[in-house]
Structures are given as structure tokens and as C-alpha cells.
């Protein structure tokens, strides 16, 4: 089974868990993703499936609002056009065929997911907002350059700026992955999935969900008082309230 799905971010809200605690969640609508192409090692050199999602406008003539290259691609695969196409690597692509659907039901038993999206664009920003740089002092000749970058390095040697030096520039609008988010709720009827915490991107942005790559460790039972007299937890200190209440 494909352990991934594409959807759109709706926004954030809050839910109550079984212990009546408020959980902040991001709601994602993930309509069924259709397999539009199967790529195998024999034909393409690697194993992957191409997922399509999103409706495409159709004219009265029956033609879809897509360009000719994409129309030819969908016609060759024998499937209806979709607005978005994304590729997902799989171990054995031969298990899938064109037309198969990937739904949120695949995440019904998944506890943790990694969510990838394009972060909100911030435009051109200075070094203070972009890199959390410090500003100049506000008194004694600071002038109109309180938030400027300031000195960049020595002049004679090396007489240049090293690659990677922080500076002002375009901020945001880049791919960001948030790992190990809890799956709070899955609603197959409305194609909704709610994950705990924030997800990169604006409302309506495309996000990619997959089973987390992190190793999930099961919590063990609570540690009791040690019986080892060499450990502090076993020595009864009469000065402590915990020892007096035993």
C-alpha cells in the first residue's frame, strides 16, 4: 500500500481528546488520489507511481482545459485528466495499476506522519527578520542603519564574502517538512485528516503526507522506587517530604 497522499490545507482548529484535553490540529482535505502512471525499474529505471488529484475544468465540447502535452499524457495512460500530478517512490510498482485510488483510509491505523508543504512567502526581508541577526545600538551615532547587516568581514584578506554568509533576501516560499506529527482524526466520508500541530503553507496550499520516517518508541511503564540502596531514590531522606509521606 502507498504510505502517502496529497491534499490541501484547510486551516487550524481544536479538538478534544478522550481525556477532555484541547488538541490544536490542522485539518487537511485529501480527495482520493488516482494512480495515473506506473513506473518500473524495467521501463523507467526506478519504482514509482504517479498520483493525480484535483478536478480539471471541462468545456461543453468535452475537452479539458489542459495543454496538448498533458492531454497526450493522459490519453496514453487511458485516464481522465487531473489538475495536479505528483510522483511517489514505492518498493514494488508492479503491485499497482492505473486507476487505483489512494484515500485517507490508508492512514486509519497510522499514528505519526511527516507533512511537507511550501511555506508562506515573506518577500524581501532584512537580516534581522530573515536570520534573527542583532541590530545596532539605538544611541551614540547609530544613524539610520540600526537594522542593517553591518560588517561582512575583513577587507585585505580574504577580500571577498564566503558562500553562505547571511544577508537580506527573499524569505519563505520554500519546501518545509514537519516530522512526527500525531494523526488525531481521520474522516473517510469527507476525505479529512487532522494532524496535531501546525503545517507549513497557507490555507489552500498543497501538502504531502506520508508515514513518518522516525522510529516510534513505545512508552514503558512508570518507573517505581528503586530497591537498590546505592541509588538516591532508595535512600530515605527524612528531610524530604516524599520520604516522610511513605
Contact present, 63 and 57 (Cβ < 8 Å): no
| Rounded Cα distance, 245 and 238, in Å | 10
Diameter of the chain measured on Cα atoms: 89
pLDDT along the chain (246 residues), means of 10: 90 93 95 94 93 92 91 92 93 90 92 95 96 89 87 85 92 96 94 95 95 80 64 61 56
Contact present, 207 and 28 (Cβ < 8 Å): yes
Give me the pLDDT at residue 218, please: 72
- List 175's β-bridge partners, or say none: 118
CA dihedral of 133, 174, 31, 108, whole degrees rounded to 10? -60
Give me the pLDDT at residue 136, please: 87
Give me the pLDDT at residue 73, please: 93
- Phi-psi sector, 140: left (phi>0), alpha (psi -120 to 50), beta: left
Closest to 106 in 3D by CA, of 26, 36, 51: 51
| Rounded Cα distance, 217 and 144, in Å | 53
Give me the pLDDT at residue 1, please: 64
Amino acid at each position: 500500500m502507498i504510505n502517502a497522499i496529497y491534499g490541501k490545507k484547510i486551516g487550524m482548529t481544536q479538538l478534544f481528546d478522550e481525556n477532555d484535553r484541547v488538541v490544536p490540529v490542522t485539518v487537511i482535505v485529501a480527495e482520493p488520489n488516482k494512480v495515473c502512471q506506473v513506473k518500473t525499474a524495467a521501463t523507467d529505471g526506478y519504482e514509482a507511481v504517479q498520483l493525480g488529484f484535483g478536478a480539471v475544468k471541462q468545456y461543453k465540447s468535452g475537452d479539458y482545459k489542459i495543454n496538448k502535452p498533458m492531454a497526450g499524457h493522459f490519453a496514453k495512460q487511458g485516464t481522465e485528466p487531473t489538475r495536479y500530478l505528483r510522483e511517489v517512490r514505492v518498493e514494488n510498482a508492479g503491485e499497482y495499476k492505473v486507476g487505483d485510488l489512494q484515500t485517507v483510509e490508508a492512514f486509519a491505523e497510522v499514528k505519526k506522519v511527516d507533512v511537507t508543504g511550501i511555506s508562506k512567502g515573506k518577500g524581501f526581508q532584512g537580516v534581522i527578520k530573515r536570520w534573527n541577526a542583532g541590530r545596532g545600538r539605538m544611541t551614540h551615532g547609530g544613524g539610520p542603519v540600526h537594522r542593517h547587516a553591518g560588517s561582512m568581514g575583513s577587507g585585505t584578506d580574504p577580500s571577498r564574502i564566503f558562500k553562505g554568509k547571511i544577508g537580506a533576501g527573499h524569505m519563505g516560499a520554500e519546501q518545509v517538512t514537519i516530522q512526527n506529527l500525531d494523526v488525531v482524526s481521520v474522516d473517510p466520508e469527507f476525505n479529512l485528516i487532522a494532524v496535531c500541530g501546525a503545517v507549513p503553507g497557507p490555507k489552500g496550499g498543497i501538502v504531502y503526507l506520508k508515514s513518518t520516517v522516525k522510529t516510534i518508541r513505545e512508552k514503558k511503564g512508570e518507573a517505581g522506587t528503586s530497591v537498590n540502596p546505592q541509588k538516591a531514590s532508595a535512600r530515605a531522606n527524612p528531610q524530604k517530604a516524599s520520604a516522610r509521606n511513605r
